[in-house]
Amino acid sequence: MRLNTIILSAVATASSINTRQQNCPEIHIFGARETTALPGFGSASTVVNLVQQANKGATSESIIYPAAGGNVYSASVTAGVTAVANQTNTFNKMCPGSKIIMVGYSQGAQIVDDAFCGGPDRVSLNTTKASISSGVSKMVAAIILMGNPRHVDGLPFNVGNATAGGFAARPAGFKCPAFENIIQAYCDAEDPFCAKGNKTATHQGYGREYGQAALQFVQSKLEGSNENVSNGTNVITTSTAPSPGFHGGYIWTVLALVAIFHL
């Protein structure tokens, strides 16, 4: 009787995992809002919505962090980097076959940048290592940064006419080799936060100015991620069903127990 219970439990567990992963989206979008914006996507919503509307069945999730300014800005960034790492890792564990899109705006761009490319970032982040998990790094297909205070001139993924760095600019010579081919960072010279300009309206207008360009970039990366890549840096899975090996492990366990039961 006990063996029968174990067998039934193994079958039920395999079925549960199968059902959960089959309900996973092919694409999941994370959006991080700007300083003082109300909880949700904030100005990142323009790109989040465009990508979600362009990809049937795609889901989205906002990064939950303070997005505070003033003398608690650094603490807010620290909390934000941790939130990006935790939320993306939690999702990836539940849906390891889903592709991930990151969209960050202003402070939201800074926390996404730091989580994927590491610091240091003054008192907000001491480590130079990325905070995200290896599973997330394999499944992220595109990263959109708008009005990023970490902006520095000369990076291969920069878009816009800004040459000055932001108020939390990366040091000269900075690179993010693991992700630079899937990042697009938008910053114009008149932006006071990513380029020390003097027009707040510029900082607030990236969704309108570059939303469609960001969408096209994301779509191009999603299309590229459908190809099998086996170079050790990108592992793309287009199916949301569990891997045969994982599900198969339960099947072989059940068969082994049945064989023992009949001996």
Which residues are designated catalytic?
Answer: 106, 191, 203
With contact defined as beta carbons under 8 Å apart, do 207 and 47 qualify? Answer: yes
**Distance from C-alpha of 72 to C-alpha of 4, rounded to nearest angstrom:** 58
Q: Per-residue DSSP letters for 1-23?
A: -HHHHHHHHHHHHHHHHHHHHHT
Q: What sign has the CA pseudo-torsion 122, 123, 126, 129?
A: negative
Q: In this structure, what token pair is assigned to residue 20?
A: 């959960």
Tokens representing 253? 């366990």
259: number of CA atoms within 13 Å, CB side?
Answer: 6
Residue 39 φ then ψ, to 5°: -50, 135
Helix (H) or strand (E) run with residue 158 in it: strand 158-159
Whether the CB-CB separation of 174 and 188 falls below 8 Å is answered with no
> What CA–CA distance (Å, rounded) separates 194 from 190?
9
Of the CA atoms within 13 Å of residue 245, those in its CB half-sphere come to: 0
In which residue are the tokens 């790109």 written? 47
